[in-house]
């Protein structure tokens, strides 16, 4: 485990797989996406684990999805696709 101290916060890297990380994010935002008629397509084939700052990476995924939502009115059939391949 790696420990980083930043701005009086202690951050710890966690060993995770991308599917676990992505599923945790989409469990939070899936309802919002579906209410905005945005289809979610997931192909989570990568099962490798790695050390990450999970909260920071979750925020990156949320930002990507939020940016996609911002342009949904310009797209006829909006969807968000995430593909994880090895």
Domain count, the chain: 1
Range of the structural domain that residue 51 is part of: 3-84
Rounded CA gap, 41 and 52, in Å? 24
The helix-helix angle for 18-35 and 54-70 (nearest 10°) equals: 30
pLDDT, tens only, 66-80: 887 777 667 666 666
Residue 64 to residue 48: CA distance in whole angstroms: 22
Give the bridge partners for 12, in sequence order. Answer: 3
Question: Residue 40's pLDDT band (boundaries 50, 70, 90)?
Answer: confident
CB proximity list for 17: less than 8 A, separation 6 or greater: 46, 47, 48, 49, 50
The CATH number for 43's domain is 3.30.565.10
Q: How many CB atoms lie within 10 A of CB 61?
A: 19
pTM of the full predicted structure? 0.67
């Amino acid at each position: 485990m790696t420990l980083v101290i930043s701005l009086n916060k202690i951050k710890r890297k966690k060993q995770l797989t991308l599917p676990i990380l992505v599923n945790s994010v989409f469990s939070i935002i899936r309802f919002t996406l579906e209410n905005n008629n945005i289809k979610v397509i997931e192909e989570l084939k990568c099962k490798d684990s790695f050390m990450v700052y999970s909260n920071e990476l979750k925020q990156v995924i949320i930002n990507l999805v939020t940016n996609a939502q911002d342009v949904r009115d310009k797209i006829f059939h909006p969807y968000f696709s995430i593909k994880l391949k090895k």
